[in-house]
Structure 1
């Protein structure tokens, strides 16, 4: 069967938040794009991922007309709670640095972006297969794929944006370069529960039994995590065991605080790793989001890093396509990686400070670090600056 040939300014591989936001920002510059995605539209819209937006991410989404529902339904937090045995401390980011964070899940961000792109008649191909990239070192790269009905396509473009995550074809299309990877010796057991949160803001807890986190998705849905061994089977934990362990690690009864249990609707185990690929571009192919880097979730950086990448990439592609000016495009990888490494370090630091390793010496170092962060304005300010978000140009 002969492939149908299409042309667009920018071919975007991946219909997650990075790809959708990139198409939105490009459209504002008059740059056309086509978005292709190997998953179904329903699958992409239902994915449960990160729930924290940095101030910089919120500002960008608001500036480009995507902040109306976020402002109405999102939950603005002034800071976080840090907890270790017999102590819980609140770090107020607004007092420390004048910035806050927002609880607004990736599912909601995706829904807002899809609605905006549909209104703009964005062209999508979902449930594609056999995706391949061609001629990325030329001025006319292309993507070939088979659509959901089995019809082959060749999509030619002036540039390709690989926003297709760590398992997509884009990263492997940039051979050579350098990669850095760290696999952590623990995992997160994630629990979604139909119960109102028992806290006003996130609780990050160090405990001899292991790390715990109390987060939330809405006023009626809680998201909670327990440190477990990699490869843990979620079915091996009963609901009662989960709530008992959460109560222990989060300090139920401490200073009158109580953890409220409720129906658990989802259980999953998330392995934890850090990964950075450099460069983030080759020829006319540019990587963004998880296609270029992965961070453990402790620092709430994954979605925000993807947004930061796209905030840099959109004007670079706009200049490249509309003005034949490659200066920003040529600098994209180097500029983006400065922020990627800063966020990678912060995520590693938060992770290693809060997760029990089993080494008594390391445990004392962790507690010393936690005491310093919660008693020193300099320590608290450093955490707040990184958690609430650095400027996109860092």
Structure 2
């Protein structure tokens, strides 16, 4: 098989890029090692920035997002005694939209066939070849049959553990990483949310987050040590802990219910640079990871896709090699700003094991400053709603 662009990974980043390229008349094929059902089973982000919403609007795939998405004008920081509301609409004139990553992925999947976007699922043993040349190719197995795709550009949208970043020699890039000493234990339940906006809580017992996927489906998190196991947390124990950490106001409005899904996700900050090597480009988690505190993971992948689609379109339609060459620097400029925001909010809202009285005093001082400063709230709101692309 021959195509112009071979995209590895059919999560939201890969599908979004594929749709954008097909809309511009650029040939592409997407390879995914898992089944569609498995891709949709991954419970991930739910807060969409303007860049993600605008790309779905541009593709004309935003009908369900507009009908079912929940626009949010703000969110809250809780310090055990009060809620500090960040009014992002008043401070920036913009909103975020709560719409689950699973729903967005479903919308992109459903439109693929009608828009001539070829997605090959269950593509096993994917391997990249000759990425430093102008004629790279990808091999994989479909069932017991070896397959090959010849292309001009390969784009890795295959997540942190996928094969694309591994195809770049260690000497050709640099890794930046911060592994956090805790994970997020999350519960998804068909219960109404305890608040109409998200609550990020810094409690003496640890962090908590009250979020939602719809008016009838809620997503809650607490931080736990990396050694903790899901089996140690019954639904009742987790709801009890959430009620303590989120505070009495949220607890009074909390509806409990059986878990639809419960898991622990480790937290890390990670960047690989550059995000391009030869004829290989990286997007999303293949190049960077952010802790979920700032709601940036999916949105940062979307901004990568925005830059990558523009560069690839210029390359194939206008023979503009400079657009490809500039991709990494352009994407990384925004990546690092989002990494900074996610890291700083994580540091502010979590109690780290090695922190002492000084570090706690600094958190208290920072939260006091945010509570009384329009400038501080504006900075947080600008980053939360999404920096310009």
Q: Provide TM-score, normalisation by structure 2.
A: 0.97
Q: CA deviation at 1:183?
A: 0.4
Q: CA deviation at 1:56?
A: 2.4
User: Is contact 2:22–2:116 with CA below 8 Å preserved after alignment?
Assistant: no
Q: 2:352 maps to which residue? A: 357
Q: 1:186 maps to which residue? A: 182
1:142 aligned onto 2:155 = no
* 3-state SS in 2 of match to 1:8: coil
User: Which residues of 2 match residues 1-394 of structure 1 at below 5 A?
Assistant: 6-147=1-142, 149-175=143-169, 176=171, 177-253=173-249, 257-358=252-353, 359-392=356-389
Distance verdict in 2 for CA 1:334–1:117, change over 3 Å: same
- C-alpha distance in 1, partners of 2:81/2:212? 23
- C-alpha distance in 2, partners of 1:231/1:13? 32
- C-alpha distance in 2, partners of 1:316/1:378? 35
User: Is contact 1:357–1:363 with CA below 8 Å preserved after alignment?
Assistant: no
Q: 1:3 maps to which residue? A: none
- C-alpha distance in 2, partners of 1:322/1:107? 32
* 3-state SS in 2 of match to 1:200: coil
- C-alpha distance in 2, partners of 1:13/1:108? 21
- C-alpha distance in 1, partners of 2:297/2:280? 21
- C-alpha distance in 1, partners of 2:297/2:199? 19
Please say which of residues 258-267 and 300-309 is displaced more in the overlay. 258-267
User: Is contact 1:212–1:249 with CA below 8 Å preserved after alignment?
Assistant: yes
Q: Deviations over 1:16-35 (max 9, x none)?
A: 11110111010111001110
* 3-state SS in 1 of match to 2:193: coil
Q: CA deviation at 1:381?
A: 0.3
Q: Provide TM-score, normalisation by structure 1.
A: 0.95
- C-alpha distance in 1, partners of 2:234/2:40? 29
Q: CA deviation at 1:174?
A: 1.2
* 3-state SS in 1 of match to 2:219: strand
Please say which of residues 358-367 and 106-115 is displaced more in the overlay. 358-367
Q: CA deviation at 1:322?
A: 2.7
Please say which of residues 236-245 and 294-303 is displaced more in the overlay. 236-245
Q: CA deviation at 1:258?
A: 2.8
Gapped regions of structure 1 (runs ≥ 5): 1-5
* 3-state SS in 2 of match to 1:144: strand
User: Is contact 2:131–2:278 with CA below 8 Å preserved after alignment?
Assistant: yes
Q: CA deviation at 1:117?
A: 1.3
Q: CA deviation at 1:265?
A: 1.9
Q: CA deviation at 1:253?
A: 4.5
* 3-state SS in 1 of match to 2:138: strand
Q: CA deviation at 1:135?
A: 1.1
- C-alpha distance in 1, partners of 2:44/2:98? 12
Q: CA deviation at 1:223?
A: 0.2
User: Is contact 1:252–1:259 with CA below 8 Å preserved after alignment?
Assistant: no
User: Is contact 1:158–1:321 with CA below 8 Å preserved after alignment?
Assistant: no
User: Is contact 1:289–1:309 with CA below 8 Å preserved after alignment?
Assistant: yes
Q: CA deviation at 1:257?
A: 4.3
Q: Deviations over 1:220-245 (max 9, x none)?
A: 11100001101311110122211111
Count of matched residue positions in the alignment of Structure 1 and Structure 2: 385
- C-alpha distance in 2, partners of 1:374/1:253? 18
